């Protein structure tokens, strides 16, 4: 990783011009205070890393600056003048470009068309596209950033990692003065990561202010000139990254005093084997086994695209894990669908709440009961009284706050919706639970609750498989962690602690 370290600019650092000043920015989403009196200065030619756990408010800061979200309070000062950024277009007009966490390229257009989408050289609805001019400018752009790609390749034919890079180049095509990167490395492999660092270096040399939002400490160490740490929506500390600051030091500042003790791991009293997956691809073409005992929380950790989601999905019948074989409580187990998995006593909380969990047009009660119906029906006819009782008891047990469970679930806050989903999933299982990102996008209080509920459920004798993209969470609640890269199990960590973080990170990045 040291090979990729940025050439240190601190020694010849001249006074850099301040481009943006955020003053006392606050933003609330429903019951979540996403940003609380945050003041930050961003300078031209400086890579400014904003680091924090999921839900720390760092993306909110990026979105406010990118014009996607309006702050409730505070000022944005651009070049010494107070400004309001009411839309992404307005922000872009002021020279602020943002690369979003989610891919936003059109797969059916070519690379060149995507780079100029919305900023075509000819702008009237029926004017002809100036292909040649666009191509020339693209070439120059690519040269500038030392980046090689077939301009006329279909975007869909590129890997996700390369699409992500093109997204960055697209943002740079408008010569922005401020470039916001929100978790840009989530989908990148080592090779693409190096390319991204190269692009960032070039942009920095040209005097662009770069805001690098991430929760990967090692990237900060590698790329940043200045580091700001955020937690629970507030700024913890902002400091220059001098050479003596390393990953452990930053992690210490960020998490040292803040370990949530709520989800403390009990001394594991292990029961029988709940799930075993044999012959998973392991290191150096050997095979690895994964076992989960009843009462145990086992985590799979890898970067997005590492294939650990696929293992989780295989356990619930959404992916085919062959040639690996599974046994559930000692019996052979090969589910073909989540319905079959559910019948075998395995329940599933998918990631992506809006896309894969919530039934938006239905009530909280129906959302919760959708996977408990076998308990409340006779011959296919529902028993309403039993249903209401079960709804109430589950909502109470999973500490959900609601006005009426007959209201649409969308009237609940994100954290409470997630608790309903947790209740839906945990309330049903009899042998094993597969959780994907159980606390994505929830506030810190709900997160702590969810961690406790998961531990409690494990203590009641179930096996739990956690697939989370949040390493700190994985370390906090798992008894065992398996690291995954390119679909292969790298290593197994028993009773992981925060001290294992550097080693885990090295595993999943292939370092």
**Angle (nearest 5°) at CA 142 between 138 and 148:** 115
Nearer residue to other proteins within complex by CB, 112 or 431:
431
Q: Of 149-157, 187-195, 298-306, 377-385, which part binds other proteins (CB under 8 A)?
A: 377-385
Q: Which two tokens stand for residue 325?
A: 């074989």
Site for other proteins in 204-263 (CB under 8 A): none
Nearer residue to other proteins within complex by CB, 5 or 356:
356
Residues written for the chain = 511
Q: In what order do the strands lie in the sheet with 331-333?
A: 287-293, 273-281, 325-328, 331-333
Q: Which two tokens stand for residue 397?
A: 């047990």
Site for other proteins in 426-445 (CB under 8 A): 428
Residues near 194 by beta carbon (within 8 Å), at least 6 away in sequence? 4
Q: Name which position in 226, 310, 424, 447 contacts other proteins (CB under 8 A).
A: 424
Site for other proteins in 316-375 (CB under 8 A): 316, 318, 337-339, 341-343, 347-348, 350, 355-362, 366, 369-371, 373
Calpha distance 468→465 (Å, rounded): 10
Residue 353 Cβ vs other proteins, minimum distance, rounded to whole Å = 9
Q: Of 82-90, 107-115, 384-392, 412-420, which part binds other proteins (CB under 8 A)?
A: 384-392
Which residue in 105, 156, 151, 154 sits closest to 131, CA to CA? 151
Look at strands 273-281 and 287-293 and give their pairing: antiparallel
Q: Of 81-89, 220-228, 266-274, 423-431, which part binds other proteins (CB under 8 A)?
A: 423-431
Calpha distance 47→331 (Å, rounded): 54
Site for other proteins in 402-421 (CB under 8 A): 403-404, 406
Nearer residue to other proteins within complex by CB, 402 or 482:
402
Residue 308 Cβ vs other proteins, minimum distance, rounded to whole Å = 17
Environment class of 102 (CB within 10 Å of its CB; exposed 0-12, middle 13-18, buried 19+): exposed
Calpha distance 90→98 (Å, rounded): 12
Residue 427 Cβ vs other proteins, minimum distance, rounded to whole Å = 11
Q: Name which position in 28, 75, 388, 399 contacts other proteins (CB under 8 A).
A: 388
Nearer residue to other proteins within complex by CB, 285 or 374:
374
Residue 342 Cβ vs other proteins, minimum distance, rounded to whole Å = 3
- CB contact at 8 A, 82 and 76: yes
Q: Which residue has the tokens 């950033």?
A: 145
Q: Of 121-129, 258-266, 296-304, 380-388, which part binds other proteins (CB under 8 A)?
A: 380-388
Give, in order, the Cα–Cα distances in Å from 76 to each of 64, 145, 182, 429, 440. Answer: 9, 29, 19, 49, 28
Site size toward other proteins (CB under 8 A) is 37
Residue 457 Cβ vs other proteins, minimum distance, rounded to whole Å = 17
Q: Name which position in 101, 110, 291, 377 contacts other proteins (CB under 8 A).
A: 377
Site for other proteins in 257-316 (CB under 8 A): 316
Q: Name which position in 80, 125, 332, 380 contacts other proteins (CB under 8 A).
A: 380
Looking at residue 358, what DSSP letter applies? Answer: -
Look at strands 432-436 and 463-467 and give their pairing: parallel
For every residue of 163-211, DSSP letters joined together read HHHHHHHHHHTT--SEEEEESTTTT--HHHHHHHHHHHHHHHHTT-EEE
Q: Does 381 bind other proteins (CB under 8 A)?
A: yes
Nearer residue to other proteins within complex by CB, 276 or 357:
357
Residue 361 Cβ vs other proteins, minimum distance, rounded to whole Å = 4
Residue 167 φ/ψ, nearest 5 degrees: -55, -45
Residues interacting with other proteins, by CB under 8 A? Answer: 316, 318, 337-339, 341-343, 347-348, 350, 355-362, 366, 369-371, 373, 377, 380-382, 384, 388, 392, 403-404, 406, 424-425, 428
């Amino acid at each position: 990783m040291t090979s990729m370290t940025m050439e240190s600019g601190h020694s010849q650092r001249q006074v850099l011009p301040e481009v943006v000043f955020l003053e006392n920015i606050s933003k609330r989403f429903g019951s979540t205070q996403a940003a609380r009196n945050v003041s930050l200065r961003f300078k031209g030619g400086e890579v400014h890393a904003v680091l924090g756990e999921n839900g720390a408010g760092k993306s909110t800061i990026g979105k406010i600056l990118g014009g996607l979200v309006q702050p409730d309070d505070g000022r944005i000062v651009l070049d010494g003048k107070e400004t309001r950024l009411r839309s992404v277009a307005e922000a872009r007009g002021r020279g602020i470009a943002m690369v979003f966490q989610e891919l936003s390229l059109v797969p059916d257009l070519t690379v060149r068309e995507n780079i100029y989408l919305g900023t075509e050289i000819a702008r009237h609805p029926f004017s002809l596209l100036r292909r040649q001019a666009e191509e020339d400018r693209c070439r120059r752009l690519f040269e500038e950033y030392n980046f090689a790609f077939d301009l006329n390749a279909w975007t869909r034919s590129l890997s996700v990692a390369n699409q992500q890079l093109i997204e960055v180049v697209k943002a740079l095509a408008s010569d922005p003065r401020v470039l916001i990167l929100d978790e840009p490395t989530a989908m990148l492999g080592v090779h693409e990561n190096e390319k991204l660092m190269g692009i960032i270096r070039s942009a920095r040399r040209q005097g662009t202010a770069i805001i690098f939002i991430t929760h990967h400490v090692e990237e900060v160490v590698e790329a940043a000139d200045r580091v700001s740490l955020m937690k629970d929506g507030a700024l913890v500390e902002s400091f220059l990254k001098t050479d003596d600051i390393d990953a452990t030091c930053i992690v210490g500042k960020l998490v040292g005093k803040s370990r949530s003790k709520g989800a403390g791991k009990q001394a594991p009293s292990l029961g029988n084997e709940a799930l075993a997956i044999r012959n998973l691809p392991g290191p150096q073409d050997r095979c690895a086994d994964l076992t989960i005992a009843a009462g145990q929380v086992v985590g799979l950790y890898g970067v997005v695209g590492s294939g650990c989601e696929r293992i989780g999905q295989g356990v619930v019948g959404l992916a085919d894990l062959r040639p690996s074989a599974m046994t559930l409580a000692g019996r052979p187990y090969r589910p073909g669908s989540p319905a079959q998995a559910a019948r075998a006593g395995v329940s599933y909380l998918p990631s992506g709440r809006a896309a894969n969990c919530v039934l938006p047009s239905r009530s909280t009660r129906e959302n919760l009961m959708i996977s408990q119906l076998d308990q409340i029906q006779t011959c296919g006819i529902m028993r309403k009284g039993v249903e209401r009782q079960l709804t109430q008891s589950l909502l109470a047990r999973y500490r959900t706050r609601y006005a009426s469970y007959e209201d649409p679930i969308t009237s609940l806050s994100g954290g409470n919706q997630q608790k309903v989903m947790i209740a839906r999933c945990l309330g049903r299982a009899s042998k094993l639970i597969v959780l994907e990102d159980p606390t994505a996008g929830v506030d810190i209080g709900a997160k702590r609750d969810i961690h406790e509920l998961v531990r409690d459920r494990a203590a009641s004798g179930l096996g739990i498989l956690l697939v989370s993209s949040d390493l700190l969470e994985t370390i906090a609640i798992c008894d065992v962690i398996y690291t995954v890269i390119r679909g292969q199990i790298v290593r197994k960590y028993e009773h992981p602690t925060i001290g294992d973080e550097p080693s885990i990170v090295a595993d999943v990045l292939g370092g």
